[in-house]
Amino acid sequence: MISSSCFSYLLNALTRLFCTYLLSSHVKYYLKSESSEALAVLLTNLINHCIAANAWPSLWKCSNGTPLFKKDSPADKTNYRPVSVLTSLSKIFERVQHVQMLVFSTSVLSDGLSGFLKGHSCTTALLKVTEDFRATLDDKEPCAAIAVDLSKAFDSVSQSLLLSKLRAYGFSDSALCLTRLYLYGRKARVKIGNSYSDWKTIKYGVPQGSILGPLLFNLFINDLTYFVVDANLRLYADDTTQYLSNRNPNVLEFTSQNSFDMLQSWFKCNYLSVNEAKTKVLSLGDNPTHLQLFADRTRIKTLGPSYRQLISITRPMLNVYVIKSMLKLLL
């Protein structure tokens, strides 16, 4: 049920929602801030009823997908990322569930995760990797890092496998049931301008642009850090960086390839695809080793420690100040 802190969140959310936005795209009128407290009580009762009855309103599972351009050619549809535009009330319900799930999952989330967590950011992830690199270089050990790019990671999450992982982490049956209802039966359509596509049922993935989606994705990839034990991993959203060091170049290459093979095996078992063309390896040290590493049978492109390439290897961690500081430490 909703706690007093969650009720305060509902009240604040409704004040913002009804004072600055329209209630829906079809009903064009504003609600005064004085009505927020009364509406918060009604919404609290509705959400408490949904939690008690293990129900998630079907209309709250419908979303308009907006194509968000990433880079390269605008004419190539693969260069767009779909972002779900959900109803405001569904996001409030998601926030209530997110608060409760986060409290429970904090103890099981790996220290290797940096994305979508309070107190963590692109900067903190990069600082952690930078400090680890600097420590190995101070010990005169060459370091090898592999930046792994995944193809459509959020859209490829197996919902049944995700629920199995939540059960293994100890989530209650009621929490699992509510999460199952949140994931299953979702519908989406593409909106471009004033044009809409037909509704399609979503069978895979967690919705991007949602409140629960990032936390569920973190829980989905969390066990990756327990599967690969011979290398350091830093995970930020769907970007994974594997790195390790060794004074012996042959051992460094063998261990890097072996750990990366295990990394690929985990991805395959969890229905995630490595984008071999965008996966890259970086060697650091006084005399960087020219590593020959492979993603399946495709050789991974090797980068040198230039400014532009370091930005690529640490993507999407693009804090320029931190990258310049990193360069001063490493070069």
> pLDDT tens across 107-117, in order?
999 999 988 88
Q: Which residue would you say has higher pLDDT here, 276 or 326?
A: 276
pLDDT of residue 73: 85
Q: Is the pLDDT of residue 173 over 80?
A: yes
Q: Concatenated DSSP letters for 167-201?
A: HHTT--HHHHHHHHHHHTT-EEEEEETTEE---EE
- Please state, in angstroms and as integers, the Cα–Cα distance from residue 260 to each residue in 30, 276, 284, 303, following that order: 55, 12, 18, 17
> pLDDT tens across 75-101, in order?
888 788 777 788 878 888 898 889 889
